[in-house]
Amino acid sequence: MRFPSPDPSLPFRAPEAVRGLAAELARLDPGRPVRVMHVCGTHEHAIGAAGLRDLLPPWLRVTAGPGCPVCVCPAAEIDCAARLAADRGVVVAAFGDVLRVPSRLSLEEARARGGDCRVVGGIEEAAALAAAEPGRPFAFHAVGFETTACTTAAAVRRGLPANLSILSSHRLVPPALEALLAPGGPAPDGLVLPGHVLAVTGLGEYEALHRRRPVPMAAAGFEPAEILLALAWILRRLRGEPSRERVGNAYRRVVRRRGNPEARRALAEVFEPVDADWRGLGRIPLSGLALRGRFAALEARTRHGIAEDPAVGDLVPGCRCGEVLLGAAEPEECALFGAACTPESPRGACMVAFEGTCHARFRTGAAR
Amino acid sequence: MCLGIPMRVLESRDGAGEGELAGVRRPVRLDLVPAARPGDWVLVHAGYALQVLDPAAAEETLAALREVGEIGREEPR
Ligand code: SF4
Protein backbone atom coordinates (compact mmCIF):
# COMPACT_ATOMS: atom_id res chain seq x y z
CA MET A 1 0.00 0.00 0.00
CA ARG A 2 1.33 3.46 -0.86
CA PHE A 3 0.52 6.99 0.16
CA PRO A 4 -0.83 9.22 -2.55
CA SER A 5 1.46 12.17 -3.29
CA PRO A 6 1.88 15.04 -2.65
CA ASP A 7 1.46 14.86 1.15
CA PRO A 8 0.24 12.01 3.35
CA SER A 9 -0.96 14.46 6.03
CA LEU A 10 -3.64 16.11 3.90
CA PRO A 11 -6.57 13.81 4.78
CA PHE A 12 -6.03 14.55 8.49
CA ARG A 13 -6.80 18.21 7.82
CA ALA A 14 -10.16 17.50 6.12
CA PRO A 15 -12.77 19.99 7.40
CA GLU A 16 -15.55 17.32 7.55
CA ALA A 17 -13.42 15.11 9.79
CA VAL A 18 -12.59 18.04 12.07
CA ARG A 19 -16.26 19.09 12.29
CA GLY A 20 -17.37 15.54 12.97
CA LEU A 21 -14.81 15.12 15.72
CA ALA A 22 -15.72 18.44 17.32
CA ALA A 23 -19.36 17.28 17.49
CA GLU A 24 -18.19 13.97 18.95
CA LEU A 25 -16.20 15.78 21.66
CA ALA A 26 -19.27 17.80 22.66
CA ARG A 27 -21.16 14.53 23.20
CA LEU A 28 -18.44 13.20 25.52
CA ASP A 29 -19.30 15.63 28.34
CA PRO A 30 -18.19 14.00 31.62
CA GLY A 31 -20.33 16.48 33.58
CA ARG A 32 -17.48 18.48 35.05
CA PRO A 33 -14.80 20.88 33.82
CA VAL A 34 -11.85 19.08 32.21
CA ARG A 35 -8.31 20.31 31.66
CA VAL A 36 -6.13 18.40 29.23
CA MET A 37 -2.48 19.30 28.86
CA HIS A 38 -0.31 18.81 25.82
CA VAL A 39 3.46 18.87 26.21
CA CYS A 40 4.66 19.83 22.78
CA GLY A 41 5.31 23.23 21.25
CA THR A 42 4.31 21.94 17.84
CA HIS A 43 0.93 20.93 19.27
CA GLU A 44 0.46 24.48 20.60
CA HIS A 45 1.15 25.85 17.12
CA ALA A 46 -1.11 23.33 15.41
CA ILE A 47 -3.93 24.06 17.89
CA GLY A 48 -3.53 27.80 17.44
CA ALA A 49 -3.18 27.72 13.65
CA ALA A 50 -6.29 25.56 13.18
CA GLY A 51 -8.29 27.54 15.77
CA LEU A 52 -9.06 24.27 17.58
CA ARG A 53 -9.76 25.95 20.92
CA ASP A 54 -12.76 27.66 19.31
CA LEU A 55 -14.17 24.23 18.42
CA LEU A 56 -13.95 22.78 21.93
CA PRO A 57 -16.99 22.51 24.20
CA PRO A 58 -16.99 25.11 27.00
CA TRP A 59 -16.21 22.54 29.73
CA LEU A 60 -12.98 21.42 27.98
CA ARG A 61 -9.76 23.41 28.31
CA VAL A 62 -6.53 22.47 26.55
CA THR A 63 -3.40 23.96 28.10
CA ALA A 64 0.29 23.77 27.25
CA GLY A 65 2.89 22.12 29.46
CA PRO A 66 6.70 21.95 29.43
CA GLY A 67 6.89 20.91 25.78
CA CYS A 68 9.44 23.31 24.39
CA PRO A 69 13.02 22.05 24.73
CA VAL A 70 14.50 25.49 24.16
CA CYS A 71 12.25 26.96 26.87
CA VAL A 72 13.14 24.37 29.49
CA CYS A 73 16.91 24.65 28.87
CA PRO A 74 18.25 26.38 32.01
CA ALA A 75 19.79 29.81 31.61
CA ALA A 76 23.00 28.49 33.20
CA GLU A 77 23.48 26.04 30.31
CA ILE A 78 22.88 28.77 27.71
CA ASP A 79 25.41 30.86 29.65
CA CYS A 80 27.93 28.00 29.36
CA ALA A 81 27.54 27.92 25.59
CA ALA A 82 27.81 31.70 25.37
CA ARG A 83 31.00 31.77 27.47
CA LEU A 84 32.54 29.08 25.26
CA ALA A 85 31.98 31.42 22.31
CA ALA A 86 32.80 34.73 24.00
CA ASP A 87 35.73 33.77 26.23
CA ARG A 88 37.20 30.51 24.92
CA GLY A 89 37.28 31.06 21.16
CA VAL A 90 35.03 28.06 20.54
CA VAL A 91 32.69 28.25 17.55
CA VAL A 92 29.26 27.39 18.99
CA ALA A 93 26.70 25.85 16.62
CA ALA A 94 23.10 25.82 17.84
CA PHE A 95 19.50 25.75 16.66
CA GLY A 96 18.34 29.25 15.68
CA ASP A 97 15.98 29.69 18.63
CA VAL A 98 18.72 28.86 21.13
CA LEU A 99 20.74 31.91 20.07
CA ARG A 100 18.07 34.32 21.30
CA VAL A 101 17.21 32.69 24.62
CA PRO A 102 17.86 35.21 27.41
CA SER A 103 20.50 34.34 30.00
CA ARG A 104 23.22 36.18 31.88
CA LEU A 105 24.92 36.10 28.48
CA SER A 106 22.89 34.93 25.50
CA LEU A 107 24.54 33.47 22.42
CA GLU A 108 23.45 36.54 20.46
CA GLU A 109 25.18 38.76 22.99
CA ALA A 110 28.26 36.54 22.84
CA ARG A 111 28.26 37.06 19.10
CA ALA A 112 28.01 40.85 19.54
CA ARG A 113 31.11 40.59 21.73
CA GLY A 114 33.01 38.91 18.93
CA GLY A 115 32.13 35.28 19.69
CA ASP A 116 31.48 33.02 16.72
CA CYS A 117 27.97 31.52 16.98
CA ARG A 118 26.40 29.75 14.03
CA VAL A 119 22.81 28.68 13.38
CA VAL A 120 22.42 25.08 12.28
CA GLY A 121 19.42 22.87 11.54
CA GLY A 122 20.95 19.83 13.20
CA ILE A 123 24.15 18.11 14.20
CA GLU A 124 24.99 17.12 10.62
CA GLU A 125 25.33 20.79 9.68
CA ALA A 126 27.48 21.41 12.76
CA ALA A 127 29.73 18.49 11.77
CA ALA A 128 30.07 19.86 8.23
CA LEU A 129 31.06 23.30 9.57
CA ALA A 130 33.63 21.77 11.91
CA ALA A 131 35.06 19.56 9.15
CA ALA A 132 35.51 22.63 6.93
CA GLU A 133 37.69 24.38 9.56
CA PRO A 134 39.67 21.60 11.23
CA GLY A 135 42.01 24.08 12.96
CA ARG A 136 39.28 25.64 15.14
CA PRO A 137 37.39 24.14 18.10
CA PHE A 138 33.64 23.75 17.55
CA ALA A 139 30.86 22.85 19.99
CA PHE A 140 27.31 21.82 19.12
CA HIS A 141 24.80 22.94 21.76
CA ALA A 142 22.60 19.84 21.79
CA VAL A 143 19.17 21.00 22.96
CA GLY A 144 16.08 18.84 22.54
CA PHE A 145 14.03 15.91 23.73
CA GLU A 146 14.36 12.27 22.60
CA THR A 147 13.50 13.32 19.02
CA THR A 148 16.67 15.40 18.77
CA ALA A 149 18.81 13.39 21.18
CA CYS A 150 18.66 10.33 18.93
CA THR A 151 20.04 12.40 16.02
CA THR A 152 22.93 13.52 18.23
CA ALA A 153 23.44 9.89 19.24
CA ALA A 154 23.45 8.70 15.62
CA ALA A 155 26.08 11.29 14.65
CA VAL A 156 28.25 10.57 17.70
CA ARG A 157 28.07 6.84 17.05
CA ARG A 158 29.11 7.35 13.43
CA GLY A 159 32.02 9.59 14.48
CA LEU A 160 32.36 13.37 14.76
CA PRO A 161 35.17 15.55 13.37
CA ALA A 162 37.94 15.63 16.01
CA ASN A 163 37.47 19.38 16.61
CA LEU A 164 33.72 19.10 17.40
CA SER A 165 32.42 18.60 20.93
CA ILE A 166 28.87 18.33 22.28
CA LEU A 167 27.34 20.53 24.98
CA SER A 168 24.54 18.19 26.01
CA SER A 169 21.36 19.89 27.19
CA HIS A 170 19.15 17.01 26.07
CA ARG A 171 16.12 16.22 28.22
CA LEU A 172 13.76 13.27 28.56
CA VAL A 173 9.99 13.76 28.53
CA PRO A 174 8.67 10.99 30.85
CA PRO A 175 10.49 12.11 34.04
CA ALA A 176 9.12 15.65 33.59
CA LEU A 177 5.59 14.28 33.14
CA GLU A 178 6.03 12.13 36.22
CA ALA A 179 7.02 15.24 38.22
CA LEU A 180 4.11 17.17 36.73
CA LEU A 181 1.61 14.48 37.67
CA ALA A 182 2.90 14.19 41.24
CA PRO A 183 0.14 14.20 43.83
CA GLY A 184 -0.60 17.64 45.21
CA GLY A 185 0.68 19.38 42.08
CA PRO A 186 -1.29 21.15 39.36
CA ALA A 187 -2.00 17.83 37.64
CA PRO A 188 -4.22 17.99 34.54
CA ASP A 189 -7.12 15.56 33.94
CA GLY A 190 -5.47 14.13 30.84
CA LEU A 191 -2.33 14.33 28.71
CA VAL A 192 -1.92 14.63 24.95
CA LEU A 193 1.47 13.00 24.37
CA PRO A 194 4.01 14.40 21.87
CA GLY A 195 3.80 12.24 18.76
CA HIS A 196 7.33 12.73 17.53
CA VAL A 197 8.90 11.89 20.86
CA LEU A 198 6.83 8.70 20.97
CA ALA A 199 7.81 7.93 17.35
CA VAL A 200 11.28 7.38 18.83
CA THR A 201 10.52 5.91 22.25
CA GLY A 202 7.28 4.02 21.63
CA LEU A 203 4.47 3.61 24.14
CA GLY A 204 6.20 1.45 26.77
CA GLU A 205 7.62 4.19 29.00
CA TYR A 206 4.23 5.90 29.02
CA GLU A 207 2.42 2.69 29.91
CA ALA A 208 4.80 2.40 32.87
CA LEU A 209 4.17 6.05 33.73
CA HIS A 210 0.41 5.46 33.58
CA ARG A 211 0.75 2.61 36.08
CA ARG A 212 2.32 5.03 38.55
CA ARG A 213 0.22 8.08 37.61
CA PRO A 214 -3.12 6.85 36.25
CA VAL A 215 -4.14 9.90 34.25
CA PRO A 216 -5.60 9.21 30.77
CA MET A 217 -2.98 9.88 28.10
CA ALA A 218 -2.90 9.50 24.32
CA ALA A 219 -0.28 10.13 21.62
CA ALA A 220 -1.29 12.63 18.96
CA GLY A 221 0.04 13.71 15.58
CA PHE A 222 0.04 17.32 14.49
CA GLU A 223 -2.92 17.56 12.13
CA PRO A 224 -6.19 18.90 13.58
CA ALA A 225 -8.04 15.58 13.32
CA GLU A 226 -5.23 13.70 15.05
CA ILE A 227 -5.26 16.08 18.01
CA LEU A 228 -9.06 15.89 18.34
CA LEU A 229 -8.95 12.08 18.12
CA ALA A 230 -6.55 11.98 21.06
CA LEU A 231 -8.83 14.32 23.04
CA ALA A 232 -11.82 12.08 22.31
CA TRP A 233 -9.89 9.02 23.53
CA ILE A 234 -8.97 10.81 26.77
CA LEU A 235 -12.57 11.97 27.36
CA ARG A 236 -13.91 8.42 26.91
CA ARG A 237 -11.54 7.25 29.63
CA LEU A 238 -12.66 10.10 31.90
CA ARG A 239 -16.24 8.93 31.37
CA GLY A 240 -15.19 5.50 32.56
CA GLU A 241 -15.45 3.76 29.17
CA PRO A 242 -12.92 0.91 29.11
CA SER A 243 -10.19 0.57 26.50
CA ARG A 244 -7.94 -2.33 25.61
CA GLU A 245 -5.09 0.17 25.35
CA ARG A 246 -3.50 1.59 28.47
CA VAL A 247 -2.15 4.57 26.49
CA GLY A 248 -4.13 5.85 23.51
CA ASN A 249 -2.54 6.27 20.10
CA ALA A 250 -4.07 8.71 17.63
CA TYR A 251 -0.87 8.79 15.55
CA ARG A 252 -0.60 5.22 14.37
CA ARG A 253 0.98 6.09 11.03
CA VAL A 254 4.10 7.12 12.98
CA VAL A 255 3.90 5.86 16.60
CA ARG A 256 4.45 2.11 17.06
CA ARG A 257 4.42 0.18 20.31
CA ARG A 258 8.19 -0.17 20.42
CA GLY A 259 8.97 3.15 18.80
CA ASN A 260 12.08 3.14 16.63
CA PRO A 261 14.35 0.35 17.97
CA GLU A 262 17.39 1.61 16.06
CA ALA A 263 16.99 5.12 17.50
CA ARG A 264 16.49 3.73 21.00
CA ARG A 265 19.62 1.62 20.61
CA ALA A 266 21.62 4.70 19.53
CA LEU A 267 20.32 6.65 22.55
CA ALA A 268 21.22 3.88 24.98
CA GLU A 269 24.70 3.39 23.49
CA VAL A 270 25.68 7.05 23.55
CA PHE A 271 23.85 8.57 26.53
CA GLU A 272 22.99 7.80 30.13
CA PRO A 273 20.22 9.47 32.15
CA VAL A 274 21.35 11.98 34.79
CA ASP A 275 19.56 14.37 37.14
CA ALA A 276 18.99 17.67 35.36
CA ASP A 277 17.57 21.14 35.88
CA TRP A 278 14.62 22.48 33.89
CA ARG A 279 14.18 26.22 33.49
CA GLY A 280 11.51 27.35 35.89
CA LEU A 281 10.79 23.81 37.12
CA GLY A 282 13.92 22.95 39.04
CA ARG A 283 15.83 19.66 39.25
CA ILE A 284 14.12 16.51 38.00
CA PRO A 285 15.73 13.10 38.71
CA LEU A 286 17.15 11.23 35.70
CA SER A 287 15.62 13.69 33.24
CA GLY A 288 18.78 14.71 31.38
CA LEU A 289 21.19 12.88 29.09
CA ALA A 290 24.98 12.80 29.54
CA LEU A 291 27.44 11.27 27.09
CA ARG A 292 28.46 7.91 28.52
CA GLY A 293 31.60 5.74 28.64
CA ARG A 294 33.94 6.16 25.71
CA PHE A 295 31.86 9.10 24.44
CA ALA A 296 32.10 11.12 27.68
CA ALA A 297 35.27 12.89 26.51
CA LEU A 298 33.25 14.48 23.68
CA GLU A 299 31.36 16.63 26.21
CA ALA A 300 32.24 20.31 25.63
CA ARG A 301 32.17 21.04 29.37
CA THR A 302 34.90 18.43 29.90
CA ARG A 303 36.97 19.30 26.85
CA HIS A 304 36.99 23.03 27.56
CA GLY A 305 36.87 22.87 31.36
CA ILE A 306 33.67 24.85 31.86
CA ALA A 307 30.68 24.30 34.14
CA GLU A 308 27.31 25.87 34.89
CA ASP A 309 27.45 28.84 37.24
CA PRO A 310 24.70 28.36 39.85
CA ALA A 311 24.51 32.17 40.22
CA VAL A 312 22.82 32.45 36.80
CA GLY A 313 19.08 32.90 37.43
CA ASP A 314 16.41 31.48 35.12
CA LEU A 315 13.79 34.21 34.99
CA VAL A 316 13.82 38.00 34.71
CA PRO A 317 11.58 39.76 37.25
CA GLY A 318 7.95 39.56 36.19
CA CYS A 319 8.42 36.66 33.77
CA ARG A 320 6.03 33.79 34.61
CA CYS A 321 7.58 31.19 32.29
CA GLY A 322 7.85 28.74 35.18
CA GLU A 323 4.09 28.75 35.73
CA VAL A 324 3.41 28.85 31.98
CA LEU A 325 5.58 25.76 31.52
CA LEU A 326 3.55 23.95 34.18
CA GLY A 327 0.27 25.00 32.61
CA ALA A 328 -0.47 26.81 35.90
CA ALA A 329 -0.69 30.20 34.19
CA GLU A 330 -1.74 31.27 30.69
CA PRO A 331 0.62 33.63 28.83
CA GLU A 332 -2.08 36.31 28.91
CA GLU A 333 -1.86 36.32 32.71
CA CYS A 334 1.71 37.64 32.51
CA ALA A 335 1.77 41.43 32.73
CA LEU A 336 4.66 41.56 30.26
CA PHE A 337 2.90 39.45 27.59
CA GLY A 338 2.53 41.32 24.31
CA ALA A 339 3.66 44.59 25.89
CA ALA A 340 7.23 44.45 27.22
CA CYS A 341 7.64 40.88 25.96
CA THR A 342 7.13 40.07 22.27
CA PRO A 343 8.83 37.67 19.83
CA GLU A 344 10.86 40.63 18.54
CA SER A 345 12.09 41.54 22.02
CA PRO A 346 11.56 38.52 24.26
CA ARG A 347 12.02 38.68 28.04
CA GLY A 348 11.56 35.00 28.71
CA ALA A 349 12.44 31.77 26.92
CA CYS A 350 8.75 30.95 26.35
CA MET A 351 8.52 33.97 24.03
CA VAL A 352 11.70 33.20 22.08
CA ALA A 353 11.29 29.75 20.70
CA PHE A 354 8.92 28.95 17.88
CA GLU A 355 7.50 26.25 20.16
CA GLY A 356 7.31 28.45 23.25
CA THR A 357 3.79 28.78 24.63
CA CYS A 358 4.00 32.59 24.86
CA HIS A 359 5.40 32.81 21.33
CA ALA A 360 2.73 30.53 19.88
CA ARG A 361 -0.06 32.36 21.72
CA PHE A 362 1.25 35.73 20.56
CA ARG A 363 1.52 34.64 16.92
CA THR A 364 -1.75 32.77 16.61
CA GLY A 365 -3.61 35.23 18.82
CA ALA A 366 -2.40 38.05 16.58
CA ALA A 367 -3.30 36.09 13.45
CA ARG A 368 -6.96 35.72 14.41
CA MET B 1 13.40 23.14 16.05
CA CYS B 2 11.36 20.19 17.26
CA LEU B 3 9.40 20.13 14.01
CA GLY B 4 9.09 16.84 12.20
CA ILE B 5 8.04 16.85 8.58
CA PRO B 6 7.10 13.97 6.29
CA MET B 7 9.33 13.56 3.22
CA ARG B 8 9.46 11.00 0.43
CA VAL B 9 12.78 9.19 0.12
CA LEU B 10 14.24 9.69 -3.36
CA GLU B 11 17.52 7.86 -2.89
CA SER B 12 19.53 6.20 -0.18
CA ARG B 13 23.19 5.18 -0.01
CA ASP B 14 24.97 4.00 3.17
CA GLY B 15 22.69 5.93 5.51
CA ALA B 16 22.82 9.11 3.41
CA GLY B 17 19.75 9.91 1.39
CA GLU B 18 17.71 12.58 -0.27
CA GLY B 19 14.13 13.43 0.62
CA GLU B 20 11.47 15.48 -1.12
CA LEU B 21 8.32 17.30 -0.06
CA ALA B 22 6.25 19.44 -2.43
CA GLY B 23 9.13 19.73 -4.88
CA VAL B 24 11.74 20.72 -2.27
CA ARG B 25 14.70 18.34 -2.01
CA ARG B 26 16.89 17.98 1.07
CA PRO B 27 19.64 15.66 2.22
CA VAL B 28 18.31 13.25 4.87
CA ARG B 29 20.27 10.88 7.09
CA LEU B 30 18.70 7.44 7.12
CA ASP B 31 20.94 5.83 9.80
CA LEU B 32 18.01 5.44 12.20
CA VAL B 33 15.60 3.89 9.67
CA PRO B 34 17.58 1.07 8.05
CA ALA B 35 14.43 -0.36 6.47
CA ALA B 36 13.57 2.82 4.51
CA ARG B 37 13.61 2.45 0.73
CA PRO B 38 13.19 4.97 -2.09
CA GLY B 39 9.48 5.76 -2.41
CA ASP B 40 8.80 5.44 1.34
CA TRP B 41 7.53 8.40 3.34
CA VAL B 42 9.66 9.15 6.39
CA LEU B 43 9.30 11.56 9.28
CA VAL B 44 12.30 13.92 9.20
CA HIS B 45 13.60 15.93 12.15
CA ALA B 46 16.88 17.88 12.42
CA GLY B 47 18.19 16.25 9.25
CA TYR B 48 17.44 12.66 10.30
CA ALA B 49 14.58 10.36 9.37
CA LEU B 50 13.09 9.14 12.65
CA GLN B 51 10.40 6.78 11.42
CA VAL B 52 8.92 5.29 8.28
CA LEU B 53 5.27 6.27 7.88
CA ASP B 54 2.93 3.30 7.80
CA PRO B 55 0.24 3.70 5.12
CA ALA B 56 -1.87 0.79 6.46
CA ALA B 57 -1.99 2.33 9.94
CA ALA B 58 -2.84 5.72 8.43
CA GLU B 59 -5.70 4.10 6.54
CA GLU B 60 -7.08 2.63 9.81
CA THR B 61 -7.19 6.07 11.38
CA LEU B 62 -8.72 7.57 8.25
CA ALA B 63 -11.46 4.93 8.26
CA ALA B 64 -12.27 5.85 11.87
CA LEU B 65 -12.32 9.51 10.86
CA ARG B 66 -14.68 8.89 7.94
CA GLU B 67 -17.03 7.16 10.35
CA VAL B 68 -16.98 10.07 12.80
CA GLY B 69 -17.39 12.49 9.88
CA GLU B 70 -20.58 10.64 8.88
CA ILE B 71 -21.90 10.53 12.44
CA GLY B 72 -21.09 14.21 12.80
CA ARG B 73 -23.11 15.07 9.72
CA GLU B 74 -26.14 12.96 10.68
CA GLU B 75 -26.41 14.30 14.21
CA PRO B 76 -29.25 16.85 14.48
CA ARG B 77 -28.06 20.20 15.77
S1 SF4 C 1 5.11 36.69 28.19
FE2 SF4 C 1 7.36 36.84 28.26
S3 SF4 C 1 7.84 37.49 30.32
FE4 SF4 C 1 5.71 36.71 30.36
S5 SF4 C 1 5.86 34.54 30.90
FE6 SF4 C 1 5.90 34.65 28.67
S7 SF4 C 1 8.09 34.71 28.16
FE8 SF4 C 1 7.94 35.23 30.36
Residue B2 is predicted with a pLDDT of 53
Domain B5-67 is found in CATH 3.40.50.300: no
Contact between A217 and A247 under an 8 Å Cβ cutoff? The reply is yes
Residue B1 has pLDDT above 70, yes or no: no
The kind and range of the H/E element at A277 are strand A271-278
Give the residue extent of every domain in chain B. Answer: 5-67
Contact between A21 and B66 under an 8 Å Cβ cutoff? The reply is no
Query: Nearest-CA neighbor of A124 among A164, A88, A91, A170?
Result: A164
Residue B69 is predicted with a pLDDT of 55
Residue A222 is predicted with a pLDDT of 87
Q: What is the pTM of this model?
A: 0.90
Determine how many CB atoms are found less than 10 A away from the CB of residue A174: 18
Please calculate the CA angle B72-B57-A174 and round it to the nearest 5 degrees: 95
Give the one of B3, B59, B71 whose C-beta lies nearest to A24's C-beta. Answer: B71
Asked if B68's CB is within 8 angstroms of A3's CB, the reply is: no
Taking the C-alpha atoms of residue A230 and residue A220, their distance in angstroms, rounded to an integer, is 6
Condensed to tens digits (0 to 9), the pLDDT of residues B32-61 reads 999 999 999 999 999 999 999 987 777 777
- Residue B15 forms contact with A (CB below 8 Å): yes
Distance from CA of B64 to the nearest CA of A (A): 9
Taking the C-alpha atoms of residue A229 and residue B64, their distance in angstroms, rounded to an integer, is 9
Contact A324 CB / ligand 1 (< 6 Å): yes
How far, in Å, from the CA of A351 to the mean position of ligand 1? 6
Q: Where are the alpha helices (DSSP H) in chain A?
A: 15-27, 41-49, 52-55, 69-72, 75-87, 96-100, 107-112, 123-132, 146-158, 173-180, 195-201, 204-212, 224-238, 261-270, 300-304, 321-326, 349-352, 357-367
Residue B24 is predicted with a pLDDT of 86
- Residue B28 forms contact with A (CB below 8 Å): no
Residue B72 has pLDDT above 60, yes or no: no
Name the stretches of chain A with pLDDT < 70: 1-7, 366-368
Query: Nearest-CA neighbor of A314 among A322, A325, A306?
Result: A322
The residues with which B7 forms a beta bridge, in sequence order, are B42
How far, in Å, from the CA of A149 to the mean position of ligand 1? 27
Averaged pLDDT score across all residues of chain A: 91
Contact between B7 and B42 under an 8 Å Cβ cutoff? The reply is yes
Taking the C-alpha atoms of residue B66 and residue A129, their distance in angstroms, rounded to an integer, is 48
Taking the C-alpha atoms of residue A318 and residue A333, their distance in angstroms, rounded to an integer, is 11
Domains in chain A, ordered, with CATH? 70-173+265-304 (3.40.50.11740)
Residue A295 is predicted with a pLDDT of 98
Residue B68 is predicted with a pLDDT of 65
- Residue B63 forms contact with A (CB below 8 Å): no
Nearest CA in chain B to A67: B2
Contact A337 CB / ligand 1 (< 6 Å): yes
- Residue B21 forms contact with A (CB below 8 Å): yes
Residue A300 is predicted with a pLDDT of 98
Asked if A196's CB is within 8 angstroms of B2's CB, the reply is: yes
Contact between A161 and A131 under an 8 Å Cβ cutoff? The reply is yes
Whose C-alpha lies nearest to ligand 1, atom 3?
A319
Nearest CA in chain B to A2: B55
Taking the C-alpha atoms of residue A239 and residue A185, their distance in angstroms, rounded to an integer, is 23
Asked if A1's CB is within 8 angstroms of B4's CB, the reply is: no
Taking the C-alpha atoms of residue A154 and residue A141, their distance in angstroms, rounded to an integer, is 16
Taking the C-alpha atoms of residue A275 and residue A173, their distance in angstroms, rounded to an integer, is 13
How far, in Å, from the CA of A183 to the mean position of ligand 1? 27
Residue A309 is predicted with a pLDDT of 94
DSSP-based three-state secondary structure for B7: strand
Residue B74 is predicted with a pLDDT of 38
Interface of A with B in 173-202 (CB under 8 A): 195-196, 199-200
Mutate to test the pocket of ligand 1, among A63, A73, A319 (most ligand atoms within 8 A of CB): A319
Taking the C-alpha atoms of residue A169 and residue A93, their distance in angstroms, rounded to an integer, is 13
